[in-house]
Amino acid sequence: MVENRCFVQREEVYRWFSVLSSAQRAEFFCGLLDLCVPIELRFLGSCLEDLARKDYHSLRDAEIKANNPADLANLTNITDEVVRSKLLVSLALLSSDNRVAAGVLFRTLTHIDTIINNYGLQLNDGQTGEQFLLLFTMASNHPAFSFHQKQVLRQELTQIQEILQVTVGEASSTSHGGGACAAALPNVSATPTFPSYITASTFNSCQAGCPCCKVGSI
């Protein structure tokens, strides 16, 4: 009976996880890792290393660019959807000890206030909001950033979440019946949404098999 109950609960967790947005998945993964003991982390690291090895050659060029400060310095206009897409791939492939490249990304990402105020970037656009949530979730949890940088990025993430919550609240107040419930869950859909904001040009720049471009991957 206990085993059956555990199995059901595990299946429920799998179903719940399958409909999370990429930003929510990343946050959940990092939370789980924080709960693991060192020997568990080493085991998980071995499993991830083996999985990552399969895509090593197809992602090699993208990984070199993601760890080259000169290339990252060209990705400054985050009002551009293509640039945001490339930043997502760069964060995914950034080495954990590359402080210089992380510094370049940090300077780009911390201009969010100016961009929202001066350019009127519409975070309430579903795709744009999802991109920014994922960008700042990944950055605020990435080991290449210093503790202080993570704190600043986490503050920026909180600001973005608050903007989106206000938007959702306004949408809920004008919705009726089932529409209000749908608006209250902007990040959850039956199909993972990550590929919708990895643009075609960025997708084509990665070889087939790139985990950043697969449905439901981070």
Residue 184 above 50 pLDDT? no
When pLDDT is averaged across residues 92-116 and rounded to a whole number, the result is 89
When pLDDT is averaged across residues 81-100 and rounded to a whole number, the result is 94
pTM (predicted TM-score): 0.73
Residue 2 above 80 pLDDT? no
pLDDT for position 125: 67
When pLDDT is averaged across residues 31-43 and rounded to a whole number, the result is 96
Buried b (16+ CB within 10 A) or exposed e, 13-38: eeeeeeebbbbbbbbeeeeeeeeeee
State how far the Cα of 122 lies from the Cα of 71, in Å rounded to an integer. 27
In order of 160, 168, 186, 187, 188, the CA distances from 182 in angstroms are 20, 10, 7, 10, 9
Confidence of residue 210 (pLDDT cuts 50, 70, 90): very low
State how far the Cα of 43 lies from the Cα of 30, in Å rounded to an integer. 16
Residue 123 above 90 pLDDT? no
State how far the Cα of 75 lies from the Cα of 105, in Å rounded to an integer. 8
pLDDT for position 127: 80
Distance from the first to the final alpha carbon of the chain = 35
Q: What's the token pair of residue 13?
A: 């967790």
Instruction: Give per-residue pLDDT as tens, 129-166.
Output: 888 899 999 999 999 999 999 999 999 999 888 878 87
Residue 205 above 70 pLDDT? no
pLDDT for position 191: 38
pLDDT for position 137: 95
